[in-house]
Amino acid sequence: MTLGRGRPILAFDVGGTDIKSALFDADGRAVEVERTPTPLAGADTPAALARRLAEIGSDLSARYPEVRPQAAGVVVPGIVDPERGIGIYASNLGWRDAPIRELAGSALGLPVHFDHDVRAAAWAEHLLGGARAFDDVVVMVIGTGIAGSLIVDGKLHPAGGYAGEIGHSPVADGPMCPCGARGCLETVASAGAIARRYAELAGVVPDGAREVLAHAAGGDPVAWQVLDGAIDALVLALAQLTAVLAPEAIVIGGGLSRAGDALFEPLRTRLDERLSFHRRPLLLPAELGEDAGLLGAALIARERPDAAA
């Protein structure tokens, strides 16, 4: 995991369960990467998170005194306004309008650069991974839910934190989504939805969506029914993105992307059949895996001037 030369950085990728942290030296090398539990403290979660980040940063600095970080990158899930440094909403962390950048900066004693986890991961894929050859590209992460990020003319397009909610684009009349809308893409086509739907129809709980894909490849009709519906929903969403944004490529990451051709081949075939005059985007796998968000946090902290933090 390397970024190339630049200033030393602390990077934090905050999730609903744990925090992935790294200290990057001046050569862009992660001298250590660690995971720690995310503190969930109700209304106090933003302040508790800031204290936890400070503890992690202090421990890393004590172990590597020769690496003196000059800034920190913090990325979180949910709706994020990077310009104001506000976590607008995160259902799994329980906050609304939380001043994460200000709290983290005060606790760490460093300039903090703040953004959305998937947007940061997309930026890392754009600079270092599967999206590096393109200036107009969509990065989609298919996991328990579905999230995305837009890169237009080589720049991230956050739209106040609301752009890229691909998982909540409507593709059907149902089922109900936890967000309150009906028929969102992630209720049908996320890895979590695929596993849940198979369990409902087959009466057997699979070990994740990739097992459902394996059953489908082996001729299981229930697995194929579930997968067929998920692929159709994904294709509809990809066709809408293609018509509106005309991306050169759509890069797909997350656990489901590791299914390889079992996912990508039917997606490519059906998307091609649905489009007419449109520029056909390349459908490509992401390359950076679980480290993408952490790399993105470090890249953002390196690139953005501290005055904007």
84 Rama class: left (phi>0) / alpha (psi -120 to 50) / beta: alpha
What are the phi and psi torsion angles at 129 (to 5°)?
A: -125, -140
| Architecture category of domain 9-121+290-308 in CATH | 2-Layer Sandwich (3.30)
Q: Which residue has the tokens 């799994």?
A: 92
Give the predicted TM-score (pTM) of the model. 0.88
Task: In the chain, count H helices and then E strands.
Answer: 9, 13
107 phi, psi to nearest 5 deg:
-70, -40
Question: Which letter does DSSP use for residue 4 in this model?
Answer: -
The pairing of beta strand 79-81 with beta strand 86-90: antiparallel
Q: Is the bond into 39 cis (omega within 30 degrees of 0)?
A: no
The Cβ of residue 178 has, within 10 Å, a number of other Cβ atoms equal to 10
Residue 218, both tokens: 């082996």
Q: How far is CA 238 from CA 76, 77, 140, 171, 193, in A?
A: 25, 22, 10, 11, 18
Task: Tell me whether the CATH fold assigned to 9-121+290-308 matches the one assigned to 132-287.
Answer: yes
Query: Looking at the DSSP assignment, which residues form a beta bridge with residue 219?
Result: none
- Using CA atoms, how far residue 28 sits from 23, 25, 299, in Å, is 9, 5, 10
- CA 177, 180, 184 angle in degrees (round to 5)? 40
Show me where the domains of the chain are located: 9-121+290-308, 132-287
CA atoms within 13 A on the CB side of 231: 23
Half-sphere exposure of 254 (CA within 13 A, CB side): 23
Contact 249, 284 (CB under 8 A): yes
Burial of 50 from C-beta contacts in 10 A (0-12 / 13-18 / 19+): buried
CB distance 143 to 190 below 8 Å: yes
CA proximity to 76, closest of 67, 87, 91 = 87
Give percent helix, percent strand, percent coil of the chain, each to the nearest 5. Answer: 45, 25, 30
- CB contact set of 173 (below 8 Å; sequence gap of 6+): 182, 183
**Can you read off the two tokens belonging to residue 8?**
């030393």
Helix pair 261-274, 209-217: axis angle to 10 deg: 80
Q: What are phi and psi of 6, to 5 degrees?
A: 170, -170
Scanning the structure block, which residue is given the tokens 């979660």?
Answer: 45
We find that the CATH architecture of domain 132-287 is 2-Layer Sandwich (3.30)
pLDDT, one tens digit for every residue, the chain (309 residues): 678 889 999 999 998 889 999 999 999 999 999 999 999 888 899 999 999 999 999 999 999 999 999 999 999 998 899 989 999 988 788 899 999 999 999 999 999 999 999 999 999 999 999 999 999 999 999 988 898 999 999 999 988 888 888 999 999 887 898 888 899 999 999 989 999 999 999 999 998 888 998 898 899 999 999 999 999 999 999 999 999 999 999 999 988 888 888 889 999 999 999 999 999 999 999 999 888 999 999 999 998 877 443
